[in-house]
A = this chain, B = another copy of it.
Amino acid sequence: MPYRIDELAEKLGATFEGDGSITIAGAAEPQAAGADDLALAMSPTYAAHLAEGQAKAAVVWPGADWQALGLKAAVFAPRGRLAMAGLTALLDPGPGMEAGIHPSAIIDPTAEVADGVAIGPFSIIGARVRVAAGVQIGAQVSVGPDSVLGADTTVHDGVRIGRRVRIGARVIIQPNAVLGADGLSFVTASPAYVEVSRQTLGLGEVTVPEDATWHRIHSLGGVEIADDVEIGACTTIDSGTIRATRIGRGTKLDNLIHIAHNVVVGEDCLFAAQVGIAGSSVVGDRVVAGGKVGISDNITIGNDVVLGGASVILSSVPTGRVMLGYPATKMDVQLESYKALRRLPRVLKKLAGGKAAD
């Protein structure tokens, strides 16, 4: 899919200068760019490497002196990563799934599959499943009874979709993700020590119940994934108990994330890898969580909250707050505590010395 620079600029909604007839076939970092690559030089730091490569054209920052950089043409990107979004979308050949249902796929006779849907080898579509137009399902996927896949949704290889999982339109699910597994929901007949110790903070006596058997609370509620959600590789979203576990429109989840039963996540959230949200917690809209963030069960995170990488959230967080740490506090408070903690050993030494001097 080669593009002329003038054509590319138009598609990106960007301006260009220089020879618009130059044709590019791909994109590359400046030092690695071949003669038919568009170099990505959105800042002077990157542009410094242009001479090491062979690019004739580059994406540069507004105001860049592209001729001095040795270029024959330049596309201007006021917001570099946004230009990257447009550019990589143009260059992406797509997942390359073949149209039609592979003869090895097993489709339950009660399933309703729209015309033209792609279903890959060895995939399995269960009873009463509905698959809308434009859906692409890879290889070795299984979709359980009564689940729904909305229009233009893409399901990559090895994904497991359980019972009663309702997925919206234009959703993308990366390989080996699991939606609709049973939640970890168990109860002992009489109070377990973990329940008792919450009250006593572990200062009471250890109590061992006569019968320590964990009784299973079954997961009947399924999962609901709204439109335009993306779900990462090996991410797991468990079925709700009675009502569905829910992910809101436009939310993007990275790899190896755990969303427990009954959790409700809002719209346009962005969660990095290995985030975990415990049972029944509610997360607002536009919440951004760094990698490895943990959110405790049965709490509420407001809209527009930002959770720094590896933060552990043990209680509810109001709208707009920026949090960090374990346990997480407001970021500025946390940073102040860190600084104080680093000084502490010296201060204590001094205090002890002062005392000794008394």
Contact = CB atoms under 8 A, between A and B. Distances in A.
Given A88-B241, A337-B341, A206 B138 contact: no
Interface in A142-188: 142, 144-145, 156-158, 160, 162-163, 172, 174-176, 178, 181-182, 184-187
Given A187-B81, A233-B178, A304 B347 contact: no
Contacts of A156: 160, 181
Contact of A291 (B144, B216, B258): B258
A196 to B, nearest CB: 9
Q: Give how many copies assemble into the complex.
A: 3
Given A292-B294, A347-B351, A212 B285 contact: yes
A102 B213 CA distance: 35
A112 interface: no
Interface string A121-159: 110101100000000001110101100000000001110
A186 B256 CA distance: 18
A99 interface: no
Interface residues of A, number: 136
A337 B344 contact: yes
Contacts of A81: 187, 217
Nearest to A92: B218
A48 B344 CA distance: 46
Interface string A182-221: 1011110110111001000111001010001111111110
Nearest to A209: B286
A270 B186 contact: yes
Interface in A318-358: 319-323, 325-327, 329-333, 335-345, 347-348, 351
Contacts of A75: none
Given A194-B270, A202-B332, A255-B258, 4 more contacts: A88-B220, A124-B139, A184-B254, A203-B332
